[in-house]
Every structure is written in structure tokens, then in C-alpha cells.
Structure 1
Amino acid sequence: MLNEVMATRYVTPLREGGSLPGIVEADDLGTYIIKFTGAGQGRKTLVAEVICGELGRRLGLRVPELVRMQLDPVIGLGEPDQEVQELLKASGGLNLGMDYLPGSLGFDPLAFEVSAREAGRVVWFDALINNVDRSWRNPNLLVWHGELWLIDHGAAMIWHHNWPSAPQASARPYNASDHVLATFGPDVAAAAEEFAPQVTEELLTAIAAEVPDEWLADEPGFDSPDALRRAYVDTLLARARTISDRIILGEPTEDKPSQAPEWLAARLVRRAVK
């Protein structure tokens, strides 16, 4: 089970994302990014963070440690920003914490070289979880101590917002043409050979068990949190078997032209030609 800590001090908001996460200190003397249950995106964002983050870590990708974070709403009484204060008040109880990486830098594809192997591992993983939020527009990658770290998976697994259509949605191809690492010649085949055998029913069941019941309760069509956990396991397990054959790389088609800036589109073309 994820470690549980208590938030002791709210430090500052991070305004890069729409959910308004913040930096907090906790009773284990650690510093974390807190993602709130009271944020507008709802609890499914936190479910995605746990399942995708833990899956990435167990596959050997660098994802900051996640913790269950208890928050006393009284911590927001001294916050001068009214929006932040309301969010803190609405998020009493269990929230999600992500280990803060001090001194980390946002990934710049022009300044940091990524090997074909590592690019392939990240692209394959993002295809598995259908992560639409690792594009050149918003890489959600950090460079810390010279290594690449993956963050912010709350927008992944888009199918869990409409479970009746999940089988069809999860069977669609993954278009990685605008993925921030598409220009590094990702070796997706090698990643599939490495990762696909590791994505077992046992692994996914253990990861789904990390999600708190209260974030899974009352989902329409499911009579218990465990039934919903099973749906996550079945969907990801089926996707892991075949997703490598449905990853679209290279220059986008005429029907779906790239929205990347000229410098990135040109590099993408050069890579595709090689």
C-alpha cells in the first residue's frame, strides 16, 4: 500500500495545471506536490495518477513516489488566495501526494538528448495508458540529476470517463505523432518486448489495489470498488497485448496534420526519413 502522510504546511500553489496542485510539507519531513480531491477534475484524475504512476514505476520508469496524503482543512485558514483557500477547505481528508523534485527542470527537446531506447519505453508506456498529455505542447517530463522523470498522468486512460464505451475506446490506435519524444526515433518494438510480458494480471491487480475505495465508490455500472478495479485491470491487460501494433509514429497524415511548431515538425520529418 502507498505510504500515508499528513500535510503539515501548505507552501505555495503551482499554477501550471488546471487542477491547481500545491507544494506542501508533511509529517515525515518530506516535501510533496499535493493533488486535491476537491479540484474540478474530480477523483478520477487521482485514480489515473495512482494506476499510471505506479505502473510506470514498477516497469522501471522514473516516476516520483506517490503517497496518500491526509489534509486537515484548517491548514487553509491562513492562505490569502481565496481560490486556494476554497480548494483546501473542499479537500479535507485523503488526497494524493507526489514526491517533490527540488531543482528539476522542465524537459526541453532541443536541450536534452534522449536515446531511442528510452524514448521508445516512454512512448510505449504512454500508448498503453493512452496518455494524451505528453505532447510538445505540454511534455509533463522533468529532468532531475540528468535523468528523465515522468509526471502528471491525470489525463490518461480517457476511457474511464465513459465505461460503457471503454472496450471500443481502448482498442483505438495511439497517435504519437505529436508526442514530445517522437523526434528521438523511439524504439517501440524493443519497449514492447521488454514491457508487455511484465504487464500481467497479477501486477495490474496489485496496482489497482493501491487506489482507495473512496475514490472508486458509486461509479455507475459497478456494484463495488473491486468490480471497478477489475475493469481497469481487464482494459489495461488487453491493451498491453496489442498496443505496440497500433502506435502511429512519423509525420501525421493529411487528414490529421501535425500541430507542432515548424522546428519540431521539420525534425520529425528528418527522423522519419532516416
Structure 2
Amino acid sequence: MKTTTKKFDVSFEFFPPKTTEGMDKLREARNQLAKFNPEFFSVTFGAGGSTRDRTMDTVLEIQREGFQSAPHISCISSSKAEIRDLLHAYQAQGIKRLVALRGDIPSGEVSAGDFRYASELVAFIRDETGSHFSVEVAAYPEFHPEARTPAADLLNLKRKVDAGANSAITQYFYNADAYFRFVDQCDALGITVPIVPGIMPIYNITQLARFSSVCGAEIPRWLKMRLEEYGDDIASLRAFGVDVVSELCETLLAWGVPSLHFYTLNQSNTISNIIENVQD
């Protein structure tokens, strides 16, 4: 086991706001989190490209402020021409990093587009732009909810890496052993890119349970029961959540993770408390 260091790399994920008030809130959060000198701020991309313009506007604003910004690109429901135009637009603006995702499969009669898998998107990015972009992809220590088997999910990650991904960011988790075993399995399969743990702060149990049911992240029984015990006492719940997530981060850093990627939900206070706890 490696020794914990007090200085560590971080990155932060935002979603593009829909309103002026939301954009003001995002700017406030970004300004507060900037003091941690993040490697980059990433900005999500709505299903089927539904937030394309807002994602780009947010990414370019972050870049103008002197920070490295990484737009998410999801390929489901998109044509190769649409993705090509988007890649070249980001390339022309000097964006150097992307988060390449498949995205949610559309329901009903909506076309799935020209791509089926994120590995196809990564290969397309390399074909179109060579080595211009550093490409991040998603990884799932507790396995993707649509995965047939854990082995099949690991092979899917390997396909993304073999297609040209530079590193991976995981879905959030609260069981560090799940991450450690996952990285060991990746090593055994020849996946040698950095695998950065995704960290989800705890804001409220209802929201967390909803997210987890969709993405397949497990809330350990002990944690779920403790959070439920707080009821409507949100302040105490969040204070407890800060302690839990701070301890998780300390455990990961002691093990020697490459960095930590925080899912901010466009908020900053709780994350600031976590990082400051770990740095103390």
C-alpha cells in the first residue's frame, strides 16, 4: 500500500444549466472549486445531444477563464456527421480533452444513430482528430447495469482502451474494495491506463437512491440505514456524508489512486469540506 499524501489531483464534473439563475450558481460553484487547482472541469452532454449548445457554451466559458475544460460527448442518437462537426468545433476552439460516452439508449421510435458503443465513438474520434484529444471513458467497478456479466463489462472497457482511450473515470461507489478489485482485474486483462475513481458527495438519500437505481452503484446497507435514520435533518445527514466520503477518499489516496473526480451536481460547499478534510 502506498503512503497517503496531502497533495492530490482533482477534477470536477458539472452539468449545463437551463436558466440564468442556474448558470450563476454554476459560476459560483466553479469559482469556489477553482481554489483546488483542478486538472480539468468536465461538462455533461444530454441524451441524444439535447444539451449540445449549452454544453459547448459552458465549456468555452470555463476555458476562457483559464481552466482546462472537458466536454462530454455521447454518441447514441447522433450521426457520424454530427459528431464530426462537434469534434472539429472543439478542436478549432483549442479544447484538448473529451469524455467519450455511449449515452442512454433512446426509448420509442427515436433513432439510435450511427454508433452503438462508446468504443466506436473513441475509434471515430481517433480517425477524425488523431492524437489531438486526451480521451476519457467510463468504467464501472460495480459493473454497468446492462452488462451481461462482469467479464463482459471488463472486455467492453478494454475495447474502449484499445480504440484509443487515454484514461477512465469510474461510476461512483462507496465500497473501496470494489474499486481495488476492479483495478486488479483490469491489470490482469492488460488495461493499463489510469482508472480515476468517481466520487459522489451525499446530499440527500432520496436523490442518491434514485441515481443509484439507474446507474447500478450500490449503497451499502449500513450506509443506507444510517442516512435514512437522519430523516429530514439534512444538515446532520450531510455532515455524516462528508465524514463517510472523506474517509473513502483517504482510503483511495492511501492505496495510490491517480486522482479523484468529483460529481458536483453544480454544488461546491460539501465537496470543499471533503477535500479540506482530506488535505488536513
**TM-score, scaled to structure 2:** 0.29
Q: Which structure: greater helix fraction?
A: 2
* Relative contact order, higher structure (CA 8 A, sep 6+): 2
**TM-score, scaled to structure 1:** 0.29
